Structure 1
Amino acid sequence: MSTPRVRPYTRTGGRTRSTTALAIETIVTTNERAARDALTSTAEHRIISDLCRLPHSVAEVAARLHLPLGVVRVLLADMSDLSLINVHQNADNSDGGPSLELMERVLLGLRRI
């Protein structure tokens, strides 16, 4: 007998958009509050908190959790609103393209997967 699967969007209460816009390359990390509030957080928040003790991009979190990008964006935005994660803003590049540092982080993250 197989266990029933939970549809990804039930994890967000059916929401597909969040109040905070997070690009796929945005880096997130867990902060001290997440560790203190571990008992009151949802299961998804605890899993993301554990994963993001090391910096991860939004895309990496989605890939590692095997969840759609939209679901992860909503979960991360909720965590940001609750001050459970730090969202590291992307540096703007003068030519409009991604910075070399960002490209190196993405490449490193892809190699880890």
Structure 2
Amino acid sequence: MSTFRVRPYTRTGGRTRSTTTLAIETIVTTNERAARDALTSTAEHRIISDLCRLPHSVAEVAARLRLPLGVVRVLLADMSDLALIDVHEQGGAGGDGRPSMELMERVLSGLRRI
């Protein structure tokens, strides 16, 4: 079986930004609509839908798919706009724009698990 590599940004139609901004720590999950609309979704959307049956952060999706974070953000934003995934906002930043202590503790815990 021969395979060919597609440049990452061709997966987004050359777009590098989307209407929805997703932080790298934002958690996403597949919802019921994604399963119903599986035949009308793109190949990338189906792959992400399968992966996100369990909760994953935006960064985890990018790492598992081995795609640039910017590409995954656009794909996930498109899926969110189509209501194919649920976006679970994390309370990442405090009122002063700095990361919350809770977020920093989660990051530290994740780093220790590596």
2:24 counterpart residue number? 24
Task: Determine the C-alpha separation between the residues in 2 that align with 1:27 and 1:46.
Answer: 18
Please give the per-residue CA displacement for 1:14-72, whole angstroms capped at 9, x wherever unaligned: 00000000000000000000000001100000000000001100000000000000000
Across the aligned residues of Structure 1 and Structure 2, the Cα RMSD in angstroms comes to 2.5
3-state SS, counterpart of residue 24 of structure 1: coil
Matches within 5 A, 1:77-96: 77-91=77-91, 92-93=93-94, 96=98
Task: Determine the C-alpha separation between the residues in 1 that align with 2:58 and 2:17.
Answer: 15
Please give the per-residue CA displacement for 1:63-104, whole angstroms capped at 9, x wherever unaligned: 000000000000000000000000011125467323426743
3-state SS, counterpart of residue 87 of structure 1: strand
> What stretches of structure 1 of length at least 5 have no aligned partner?
none
Quick one: structure 1 residues 20 and 94, their matched pair in 2 at CA, closer, same or farther if it must change by over 3 Å? closer
TM-score, structure 2 length as denominator?
Answer: 0.84
1:25 and 1:106 in contact (8 A); partners too: no
> What stretches of structure 2 of length at least 5 have no aligned partner?
none
Between Structure 1 and Structure 2, how many residues are aligned? Answer: 112
TM-aligned CA deviation for residue 5 of structure 1: 1.1
Task: Determine the C-alpha separation between the residues in 2 that align with 1:49 and 1:102.
Answer: 28
Task: Determine the C-alpha separation between the residues in 2 that align with 1:11 and 1:97.
Answer: 31
